[in-house]
Structure 1
Amino acid sequence: MKYWKNIARVALDIGAIRINPEEPFTWASGYRMPVYNDNRLFLGEHKHRFLIAESMQEVIESRHIPVDCIAGTATAGIPHATTLANMMELPLVYVRSTSKGHGLQNQVEGVLEPGQEVVLIEDLVSTGGSALKAVEALRAAGARVAHCLCIFSYGFESATTAFKSMDCQLHTLLTFPNLVAFAEETGRINEAQKTLLDAWYEAPFEWAAKQGF
């Protein structure tokens, strides 16, 4: 996978991924974490959008993933799904977090044919909950969904287990261990910081308390 270092470099350069184990970020869940991700910053330049889409296309083609249609999760997955669908000249749909409360009350928007092989695009996977709800919605609409691609995943064991239980393979362009390795290799973190990040990766939800935050 030749692309992950380029994604790591761009993510760190533009602040789409921020690392600060000495002054952790507070996530929406309330947990203090040494890394923060905002993939919306990839949207700022066309070359970054193309990097993401080209990387996803490479995954699909190199792993011989069958695909008739690209689906994006609302809202963060939609732009990357759109660029990828355009590049691969494939139909595009997107999945709302919940069904509309009016009109046709659709949860899946766009033209989806029953039996189509759909690849789901998500920007970030933490617990995997939102992506797997989208998988359920697509399957309920008659699609076959066995693969989900995301830009970055924290690698939580709960997400891995959840995807396996849904019989859906998660393909991550940039993993947390690769991010840390790149940051160390390029001098963006020191040895002490790497030790803190490795400890977080082993027990992310207990990390802050053990570090005294």
Structure 2
Amino acid sequence: DGGSKVNFCKALRDAGAKVDHCFVLFYYDIFPQGREMMKEIGVGLHYLTTWWDVLKVAKASGHFEPKVLDEVESFLNEPAKWSAAHGGISDFNQAKQG
């Protein structure tokens, strides 16, 4: 979460554009380095909603079983650990390199 936005901003800058802000409709907001990566290149990040916002609304709606929402929250809190526990990768940096 952040890498593709950074690459996009850098590509625009390489083409001569001035890029100080990035706007996305949906920001995952589950990897702490995402915001930091944008700060490092001097780009402000703006978004309409995050997974955390969606989870809050889902909990308030009463349309989902608590067990399902607990599982989603478990993923949001520790995506790599959740992924490994469900047969996925445990190191997202390796996936980017591979």
Distance across 2 between alignment mates of 1:176 and 1:187: 17
The answer to whether 1:158 aligns with 2:60 is: no
Unaligned runs of 5+ in 1: 1-126
Q: TM-score of the superposition, structure 2-length normalised?
A: 0.73
Secondary structure of 2:11's counterpart equals helix
Distance across 2 between alignment mates of 1:189 and 1:159: 29
1:184 aligns with 59
Moved over 6 A (4+): none
Greater RCO (CA < 8 Å, at least 6 residues apart) = 2
Q: TM-score of the superposition, structure 1-length normalised?
A: 0.37
**Between structures 1 and 2, the one with greater strand share:** 1
How big is the shift at 1:131? 2.1
Structure showing greater Rg: 1
1:130 aligns with 4
Distance across 2 between alignment mates of 1:203 and 1:142: 38
**Between structures 1 and 2, the one with greater helix share:** 2
Task: Quote the sequence identity (%).
Answer: 29
Deviations 1:46-84 (A, max 9, x none): xxxxxxxxxxxxxxxxxxxxxxxxxxxxxxxxxxxxxxx
Count of aligned pairs between the two proteins: 86
Secondary structure of 2:70's counterpart equals helix
Alignment of 1:1-213 (within 5 A): 127-155=1-29, 156-210=31-85, 212-213=86-87
Unaligned runs of 5+ in 2: 88-98
Structure 1 vs Structure 2 CA RMSD:
1.7
1:78 aligns with none
How big is the shift at 1:175? 0.8
